Structure 1
Amino acid sequence: MVSHKQQTRRYAITKSKLFGRHWMEFPAKEPGEDQDAINEDRARRRREMARSVKDVHSRLGAPENQRTTFDLERQHLFADTRLNAAYAAPLLALIVAAISVLWIEPILLGAWFVITLCMHFLMVVTCHSYERAPSDQQARVYWRRRFMFGDLLYGCSWAIFFLLPQAGDSSEGLLIFHFATLLIVVAMNTMQSATLPRCLLASTLPMTLVVTTTFLQQISPIHYTLAAMAIGAQGFFFILGNQLLKNANTMLEYRADKDHLIAELETANAMSDEARRRAESANIAKSRFLATMSHELRTPLNAILGFSEIMKDEVLGKMENASYRSYAEDIHGSGQHLLNLINEILDLSRIEAGRHELHEQPLYLDDIVDECGTMMQVRAKAKSISLHHTHQPDMPQIWADERALRQVVLNLMSNAVKFTPAGGEVRIKVGRTTDDGQYVSITDTGPGIPEEEIPIVLEAFGQGSHAIKSAEPGTGLGLSIVQALVGMHDGQFSLKSRLGEGTEVIVSLPRARVMNYAPDVVWADPDSENISVRFG
């Protein structure tokens, strides 16, 4: 007995086959069952694509003497050509019959025209039946036999025309007309039957043999000449038919090559979709893991930080052993570093997942920079680093998230102080951009970053060689978070650095974020009206 789960799975598979990609775009209510159906449908399509690619590879990669001649495709071209010329051939027979009334009895011409029309109609019906036949039947050999037999009957019907008796005495006009008719009909049949060489011979050779035999029965130079020309014309049109056949094969090879490339693109696209789906699943799993583990990690870390702080500050009593106090300080510092690392990873994960929301409000950019400079003053004094803050006067408010901008400025200032040697300088400048936006520029006198390492530094968890050699504490996520937050504000982030000359980072916000923006206002020269503040 089939279980409910199996019935649901069969229904999902059937629906996915009926609706194809559209069913894949709208997941049903049971994700587990639907995913199985989607995966099975994708596997089926990949197997079909692999079979088609293998078939094309075997066709194009075979030796010249074993390569397929595109039999099925050439049969399609033959049938299409015959169907397209369904009205041209009877019209030519009618014109020939009308002109031949000058030399041949109309009754005989009428009978011949009916026979020719019937043979042509039989050939058209055969081609039409072939086009409507299923693909598995079209590949069978008997269709080519039918085509050759039909062309043989059609060629014989035209050969009968050259055997019709004359009404009067022999006339050179009829002789020339016979030869011209032979050339026209052979040329027409060559164009129609070039893709099947046997059919070409079956439709043209009977006429040539009859006309040549008829000419050779007359003892005169003109008849011998026309007989030789008829044989030469037959050879010429046969060579022409072979050339048309080569052109058709070349065209079909190009088409097969194109289909092969399309098949490879489809395979690559399917693989890309599968890789993207797996990446999305991995990203969702990562987000769920971080959301679950954030509480599990922060709770014990808070206990570690609290107890280690009580121990190092000797709140409950003095610790006689100095090593224990040092251990407590190390535990507290390590826990604080681990907590900062977890916070940065969670912040970057929320931003990448699009779950970080901006709480925007009017604020002054220079005020945020002042607050961050005051907060960084303690760390700067510990290394005897001078902080210089310069900003243009009368800076209007901007529309932004205060917490996000504070995190951006603090991360950049922290990096500048971290990598600036003792006794160095860090300069912070706030001003207007050329398009009337606002920017923050932070320049340090540190060792700088080699040009080839700048892309590495800008990546998540990326650290330069100087940071690795000096073993500076950090995760390499600060600049990634800065770029993400600046991008959420529609701003731009740039980093300029040269080895031995320091580093400059610039964060600019567009003028659309400036409050009360007035395009007609002309700002004063910022270099002559800067206000400089020195911390410490």
Structure 2
Amino acid sequence: MTMSAIPEEVARRRSREYARTRASNDLRETRARLAAGTSLKPEFEYELLTMFVRNELGAAVTMPALYALFALACMFWAPTVDAVIWLVIVIAAKVVLLDQGRRFLLAPPSQVNVRAWRRRFVIAELFSGLALACFALVGVRETLGASTEMIFSSHVFIFATLIVVLAIRTMFAASIPSILYAGTVPMTIAVVARLLLLDNSFYFALATMAVGIYLYFLFLARGLRSTALSMLEYRTEKDALIAELEEQKSVSDDARRRAETANTAKSKFLATMSHELRTPLNAILGFSEVMKSEMFGPIENPKYQEYVGNILESGKHLLHLINEILDLTRIESGRYELHEEPLRLADVIDECHRLLKLRADAKGIEVSEEASAELPVVWADQRAMRQICLNLMSNALKFTPKGGRIVLSVGATPDGGQFLSVRDTGPGIPADEIPKVLQAFGQGTLAHQTAEGGAGLGLAIVQNLIELHGGSLDLQSELRKGTDAKVVLPGFRVLRAMVPLQPLGQETHRARGTSPRPARQARLRARGGRDGGSDAAAPG
């Protein structure tokens, strides 16, 4: 298995494990929904119950205080004993509900039976609703024989109390309809029945309005429940997305560790193999050179001489390939150190021209240079820049046919940097193959058919070396017209001469508005007068 296939295989395995886990969770949730008798997810049911309980516990003080105000208000038309009894009953029902809520929150979520707890809260809320409904019965006998104004005031207050209770219970229990019904239906029925007993069109209208208001609050509770469910769904999706991202991060980290391990193993392997290959390769090159030069006597068979030449050329090619692989490995592993110094790119292309001149002449290729002597020096690694130029020029020599032309040029870029360019008149590279040839071991189809031997590492090394300098490689090519490979050094690599500072004495005299020359003559005359050697002291 190749190094690139390792992360893909890990990702596939993780994906299969994640799919199995998700399917198992979905099956478990379906079984729980069937057992709970509801279409909601079990965690949603638990969250809705939790919202209801927290709302009740949050109003543990305010609601009894509100009930106390109701009791005080009804003392204006009802006996005090009835109001106090009603207050005790409703607070007792509230205490039971709050106690069940505290027990629910203390229980571990994994051990909570949602269906059983929902039934408990419905019973507790029904008890509380019946206690609230008794408010409509407080002072019934006393109001029947009271004045019209007292009857009107008491019943309007009871109607307003119903609206307040419906609003509060809708806010608290809208997430669970069964609890909402248990807490609001008894009081609504009691208030409507009391209003209808008066046998008056006005109170009949109030009763009708009470029913309408109750239906409106049920509709409002339905909207609040939908909002709560949407919020829970969004939160669940967010949690699932976060979990999936964590899973993918774990997969990515695992793949990265495997890739780093494989890269370390590759580097160790190449370092070991370079030593193991170079040792016998040096012997092959040395002995083949001795045999080719016939140092210990002539080789009479010409075939043997040809074979020795082939062995020597193959050995040199193999050594060059090993060196390229090791250079690329050092660069990619970050162990390639730049030894920077001032240099001229024109000197670099001139040196590379001289090194490859014999090879160019052997193929009948014309090589010319285009460089300006006025270009400033650059701060770069001389060995790296020489290798860049040699690799680009070697590629041009490989692909340029006999009688072609290669131009080595150096110039300035618009942003203040400098470039080194190698242009040839070779077969060119198709535009869709340029990204491929810039990769390690990448070769174009047309170039592979017409070129000499090579491993496809030259341009990859060039690109990595110029990027170490903060520059870039720009490869422009057109079929049957040639290729232009240009490396660009950024502006901060160019060393520019500083403007000379003006002498301090001249700045002083210029500041005073005098010329330095008369001042110097005055000092010389004064010195001559003291020494007795001036013309003024000579006799007339």
2:460 to 468, 480, 486: 480
Equivalent position of 2:111 in the other structure: 137
Secondary structure of 2:220's partner? helix
Distance 1:429 1:471 in 2: 23
Instruction: Tell me the CA shift for residue 415 of structure 1.
Output: 0.9
Alignment partner, residue 124 of structure 2: 150
Deviation at 1:54, TM superposition (A): 5.0
Count of residues paired in the alignment: 478
The amino acid of 1:172's aligned partner reads F
Task: Give, as a single letter, the amino acid of the residue that structure 2 aligns with 1:68.
Answer: K
In the alignment, is residue 68 of structure 1 matched against residue 53 of structure 2? no
Please give the per-residue CA displacement for 1:123-175, whole angstroms capped at 9, x wherever unaligned. 33432332333222334543223322221222122112111125553412211
1:189 to 169, 176, 183: 169
C-alpha deviation, 1:103, in angstroms = 1.8
CA distance in 1, matches of 2:470, 2:197: 96
Which of residues 368, 376, 400 is equivalent to 2:348? 368
Counting only pairs closer than 5 Å after superposition, residues 43-54 of structure 1 correspond to structure 2 as: 51=21
Deviation at residue 414 of structure 1 after TM alignment? 0.8
Alignment of 1:327 onto 2:327? no
SS at match of 2:137: coil
Pairing 1:10-409 to 2, within 5 Å after superposition: 51=21, 55=25, 68=41, 70-165=44-139, 167=142, 169-170=145-146, 171-409=151-389
Higher Cα radius of gyration? 2
1:53–1:511 CA distance, 2 compared to 1 (3 A): farther
Q: Deviations 1:82-120 (Å, cap 9, x if unpaired)?
A: 233334423432443343232223443234334333433
CA distance in 2, matches of 1:481, 1:318: 42
Residue 412 (structure 1) aligns with? 392
CA apart distance, 1:519: 8.8
| Partner residue, 2:484 | 504
SS of equivalent to 1:439: strand
Paired AA for residue 417 in structure 1: L
Write the deviation string for residues 180-232 of structure 1: whole angstroms up to 9, x where unpaired.
Answer: 21122122112211111221111112212222333343433344444444344
Give me the TM-score of the superposition, normalised by structure 1.
Answer: 0.82
Q: How many angstroms does 1:474 deviate by?
A: 0.8
Is the contact made by 1:49 and 1:267 (CA closer than 8 Å) also made in structure 2? no
Given that residues 46 and 114 in structure 2 are in contact (C-alpha distance below 8 angstroms), is that contact kept between their aligned partners in structure 1? Answer: no
The structural deviation recorded for 1:343 is 0.9
The alpha-carbon distance between structure 1 residues 301 and 436, as it changes in their structure 2 partners (threshold 3 A), is: same
Q: Aligned-pair distance for 1:503?
A: 1.0
Contact conserved, 1:344 with 1:477, CA < 8 A, in 2? yes
Distance 1:452 1:419, change over 3 A: same
- CA–CA distance in structure 2, aligned partners of residues 258 and 397 of structure 1: 57
Change (3 A) 1:359 1:313: same
Residues 59, 67 of structure 1: 8 Å contact kept = no
For 2:87, the aligned partner's letter is F
Distance in 2 between residues matched to 1:65 and 1:500, nearest whole Å: 74
* Alpha-carbon distance between aligned partners in 2 of 1:300 and 1:506, rounded to the nearest angstrom: 38
RMSD after superposition = 3.0
In structure 2, C-alpha distance between the alignment counterparts of 1:65 and 1:334, rounded to whole Å: 79
Partner of 1:29: none
8 Å CA contact 2:427–2:447 kept in 1: the answer is: no
Cα separation, 2, equivalents of 1:176 and 1:348: 92
What secondary structure sits across from 2:379 in the alignment? strand
Q: 1:447-491 CA deviation, whole Å, 9 max, x = no partner?
A: 211111111111111111222111521111111111111111112
> Which runs of structure 2 are paired with 1:384-463 in the superposition (5 Å)?
384-463=364-443
Deviation, structure 1 residue 420:
1.2
Q: Shift in Å at residue 51 of structure 1? A: 4.5
CA distance in 2, matches of 1:143, 1:519: 88
1:469-521 Cα deviation digits (max 9, x unpaired): 1152111111111111111111221111111221111112123222345499x
- 1:484–1:425 distance in 2 versus 1, CA, 3 Å: same
Contact persistence 1:437–1:511 (CA under 8 A): yes
| TM-score computed with the length of structure 2 as normaliser | 0.81
- Identify the range of structure 1 (391-400 vs 115-124) with the bigger mean alpha-carbon deviation: 115-124
Asked whether the equivalents of residues 289 and 312 of structure 2 are also in contact (C-alpha less than 8 Å), the reply is yes
CA distance in 2, matches of 1:57, 1:460: 49
Residue 50 of structure 2 aligns to which amino acid in structure 1? H
- The CA deviation at 1:377 is 0.6
The letter for the 2-side match of 1:499 is L
SS in 2 for 1:244: helix
Does 1:489 find its partner at 2:489? no
- For residue 500 of structure 1, give the secondary structure of its aligned residue in structure 2: coil
CA contact (8 A) 1:156 1:206 kept: yes
Partner SS, residue 354 of structure 1 = coil
SS in 1 for 2:455: coil
Measured against aligned partners, the alpha-carbon deviations of 1:260-299 in whole angstroms (never above 9, x if no partner) come to 2222222211111111111111001111111111101111
CA contact (8 A) 2:430 2:479 kept: yes
- Asked whether the 8 Å contact 2:398–2:451 carries over to 1, the reply is no
Q: Structure 1 residues 279, 146: closer, same or farther in 2, change over 3 A?
A: same
Residue 67 of structure 1: how far off its partner (Å)? 5.3
Q: Report percent identity of matched pairs.
A: 45
Contact preservation (8 Å) 1:49, 1:263: no
For residues 513-524 of structure 1, what are the structure 2 equivalents within 5 Å? Answer: 513-518=493-498
Shift of 1:330: 1.4
Distance 1:269 1:303, change over 3 A: same
Say which SS state the counterpart of residue 334 (structure 2) adopts: coil
Unaligned runs of 5+ in 2: 1-12, 501-540
My pick for the range that moved more, 281-290 or 235-244, is 235-244
